[in-house]
Copies of this chain bind each other. A is one copy, B any other.
Amino acid sequence: MLKLRMLVTAIAMAGSFSVMAADSLPTTAPAPADNPTTPEKVALGKMLYHDPRLSSTGTVSCASCHNTMLGGEDNRPNSMGVNGQTGGRSAPTVWNAAFNKVQFWDGRAASLEEQAAGPVTNPIEMGMKSWDDVVARLKTIKGYRQAFELAFGSDHEAITKDNATKAIAAYERTLITPNSAYDKYVEGDKDAMTEQQIRGMNKAVELGCTSCHSGPAFNGPGAFQKFPVHSNGYFEAQYHFNKDKGLAEVTKKESDEHMFKVPTLRNIALTAPYMHNGSVKTLDKAVKLMAKLQLNKDLSDEDTADIVAFLNALTGEFPKQTMPELPGTPGSTFN
Contacts and interface: CB of A to CB of B under 8 A. Distances in A.
A184 B108 CA distance: 54
A77 B332 CA distance: 11
15 contacts: A58-B74, A67-B326, A69-B323, A69-B326, A75-B332, A77-B333, A77-B334, A82-B84, A272-B331, A272-B332, A273-B333, A281-B331, A281-B333, A320-B323, A323-B323
A225 interface: no
Interface of A: 50-53, 57-59, 64, 67-71, 74-77, 80, 82-85, 269-270, 272-273, 278, 281-284, 312, 315, 318, 320-326, 328, 330-335
Given A68-B323, A84-B85, A269-B328, 13 more contacts: A51-B69, A53-B75, A59-B64, A64-B64, A70-B328, A76-B335, A269-B330, A270-B330, A272-B330, A273-B333, A278-B333, A281-B331, A282-B331
Contacts of A325: 69, 318, 320
A4 B320 CA distance: 39
Nearest to A53: B75
Contacts of A59: 64, 74, 76, 80
Contacts of A322: 320-323
- Which A-B residue pairs are the 10 nearest by beta carbons? A84-B84, A269-B330, A83-B84, A270-B328, A273-B333, A272-B333, A321-B323, A59-B80, A69-B326, A282-B331
Given A323-B68, A326-B69, A328-B70, A75 B58 contact: yes
A75 B330 contact: no
A269 B58 CA distance: 18
A24 to B, nearest CB: 21
A315 B318 CA distance: 33
Nearest to A283: B331
Contacts of A52: 67, 74
Contacts of A282: 331, 333
A58 B282 CA distance: 17
Contacts of A83: 80, 84
Given A76-B57, A321-B323, A322-B323, A71 B328 contact: yes
Nearest to A82: B84
Contacts of A334: 75-77
Given A322-B320, A323-B323, A333 B69 contact: no
Contacts of A74: 52, 58-59
Contacts of A315: 330
A312 B330 CA distance: 8
Contacts of A332: 75, 272
Contact of A50 (B69, B318, B335): B69
Nearest to A282: B331
A326 B70 contact: yes
B270 A77 contact: no
A51 B80 CA distance: 15
